[in-house]
Chains A and B, each alone.
Chain A
Amino acid sequence: ETGVTQTPRHLVMGMTNKKSLKCEQHLGHNAMYWYKQSAKKPLELMFVYSLEERVENNSVPSRFSPECPNSSHLFLHLHTLQPEDSALYLCASSQGRSLNSPLHFGNGTRLTVT
């Protein structure tokens, strides 16, 4: 496997469920990100991890809980979500956070909250 891999690709969950999204990068990068993409809205940055430390938390509700056990893996734990949380959740990685360090995205998890 190469690049950035996300699982599952699709997820339907009820508002009382607990689920986790998984992201794995095989690029040797040291920064990982969670983005949310809703219909007709720009990509929204949720969390940034650099060298396994959370460096950004963009005012995300506590029902979203990230975890970065090492530089290759990133999780997003979900609990008691709301229907408005339905969106495409994209994981990305980069080599550092320099000016010339573009993001490499995974294929995303399409989340539907019922």
Chain B
Amino acid sequence: QKEVEQNSGPLSVPEGAIASLNCTYSDRGSQSFFWYRQYSGKSPELIMFIYSNGDKEDGRFTAQLNKASQYVSLLIRDSQPSDSATYLCAVMDAGNMLTFGGGTRLMVKP
């Protein structure tokens, strides 16, 4: 059973701070890693994906991947109240099967 683990939260950060969202996965053969954002009552939307070790930056978002530790994270700089949502980590294996974590609920307080 392939597992993707996330702390359910809520993670509460003040406006302007850095929010750090973490995800661990069990399958060492995992190839690609995705972060989705899901607002309450809405469908998940892709924020970014990463497949090489290291950091990948896109605007205020940075994804970090460490395959040796089976760990992927998402940093949100200058957090805004509009970033308040549930963030889903998804891991794709060598067979192109995508497994989702349970999500972390982020609350950014003004």
CB-nearest residue of chain A to B46 = A102
Q: How many of chain B's residues have a CB under 8 angstroms from any CB in A?
A: 23
Contact, CB under 8 Å: A42 / B103: yes
Contacts of A107 in B (CB 8 A): 42-43
Residues of B near A104 (CB, < 8 A) are 46
Q: Check: A90 CB closer than 8 A to any chain B CB.
A: yes
Chain B residue numbers with a CB within 8 Å of A43 are 44, 88, 90, 100
Docked-complex contact A103 and B42, CB < 8 angstroms = no
Interface 1/0 per residue, B41-68 and A, CB below 8 Å: 0111110010100000000000000000
Interchain nearest-CB distance for B18 vs A (Å): 25
Residue with the highest number of chain A CB atoms closer than 10 Å, among B32, B42, B43, B96: B43
The interface size bin for chain A is: 10 to 19
Question: Is A108 at the interface (CB under 8 A from chain B)?
Answer: yes
List B contacts of A100 (CB < 8 A). 32, 49, 51
Q: Bound state CA distance, A100 and B44, in angstroms?
A: 17
Q: How far is the CB of B28 from chain A (nearest CB, A)?
A: 16
List B residues 75-110 near A (Cβ within 8 Å). Answer: 88, 90, 92, 96-103
Tally of A-B Cβ pairs under 8 angstroms: 44
Min distance, Cβ A41 to any Cβ of chain B, angstroms: 7
Does B25 lie at the interface of the complex (its beta carbon under 8 Å from any beta carbon of A)?
A: no
Give the interface SS of chain A, mostly helix, strand, loop or mixed: loop
Please tell me if the beta carbons of A105 and B44 are within 8 angstroms of each other in the complex: yes
Q: Encode B17-55 as 1/0 by CB contact (under 8 A) with A.
A: 000000000000001101000000011111001010000
| Contacts from A to B (Cβ < 8 Å) | 40-43, 45, 56, 90, 97-100, 102-108
Q: Which residues of B contact A (CB under 8 A)?
A: 4, 8, 31-32, 34, 42-46, 49, 51, 88, 90, 92, 96-103
A-B contact pairs, 13 of them (CB 8 A): A41-B102, A42-B103, A43-B88, A45-B97, A45-B98, A98-B96, A99-B51, A102-B46, A102-B49, A105-B43, A106-B43, A107-B42, A108-B43
